Amino acid sequence: MALYKSKSMEEQKFSFSGSFQKIREYVDTRIDLVRLKVIAKSSRIIGALVVDVSKLILLLIIIFFFSLALGFYLGELLGSYSFGFLATGGIFLVLLLLIKLFEPKLEAKVMEITIRKVMGKWNEDDEHVEGEEADQELTDLAEKVEKDVKEIIKKDLNHEYENK
């Protein structure tokens, strides 16, 4: 009888180590899955940010050239390029004062738009993201490991119940 109990305990020990190994694999797979999802979502946000900054830089270049054109045009109308560029500077000063006047409302609106855009990119479906197959493979693997862990634990519990 002592031999049987030690063999049974040895089987349980092996079975529990298998369970812990499967649990460890499951946790590692879940961590990899979360890591990949965070990387995909953050890269989507960074990509959108780079595109928006590029558009802003191009917009500033366009404004610069339109300002030059306006300065030269007003200079011809006023008979002096100095007065034309002074008038253009005055227009920008008025715009700056308007922005300063409405700063709190503009700041809140910009924050709202930014948050909406970032959260939209964060929550965007992964349909168009490369690497979706790898993400699906990891999800499938995690589900398989989870199923295996549950089966092993169930077998361990049944085996333990039978030995009592």
* Position 116 in a domain: yes
* Position 67 in a domain: yes
Kindly indicate the confidence band of residue 2, based on its pLDDT and cuts at 50, 70 and 90: very low
pTM above 0.75, yes or no: no
Q: Please report the sign of the dihedral spanned by the C-alpha atoms of residue 151, residue 154, residue 159, residue 160.
A: positive
Judge whether residue 138 has pLDDT over 90: no
Domain that holds residue 138: 35-149
* Position 76 in a domain: yes
What is the arithmetic mean of pLDDT over 131-148? 68
Q: Looking at residue 89, what is its pLDDT?
A: 96
* Position 77 in a domain: yes
* Position 75 in a domain: yes
- Our count of domains for the chain comes to 1
Query: For 13-45, how does the pLDDT look when each residue is reduced to its tens digit (9 = 90+)?
Result: 556 667 777 788 888 888 888 888 888 888 888
What percent of the chain is modeled with pLDDT above 70? Answer: 73
- Kindly report the three-state secondary structure assignment for every residue of the chain: CHHHHHHHHHHHHHHHHHHHHHHHHHHHHHHHHHHHHHHHHHHHHHHHHHHHHHHHHHHHHHHHHHHHHHHHHHHHHHCCHHHHHHHHHHHHHHHHHHHHHCHHHHHHHHHHHHHHHHHHHHHCCHHHCCCHHHHHHHHHHHHHHHHHHHHHHHHHHHHHHHHC
* Position 29 in a domain: no
Query: For 69-103, how does the pLDDT look when each residue is reduced to its tens digit (9 = 90+)?
Result: 999 999 999 999 999 999 999 999 999 999 999 99
* Position 88 in a domain: yes
Query: For 96-113, how does the pLDDT look when each residue is reduced to its tens digit (9 = 90+)?
Result: 999 999 998 989 888 888
Q: How many whole angstroms from its chain centre is CA 55?
A: 21
* Position 158 in a domain: no
What type of residue is 47?
G
Query: For 108-132, how does the pLDDT look when each residue is reduced to its tens digit (9 = 90+)?
Result: 888 888 888 878 777 776 555 445 6
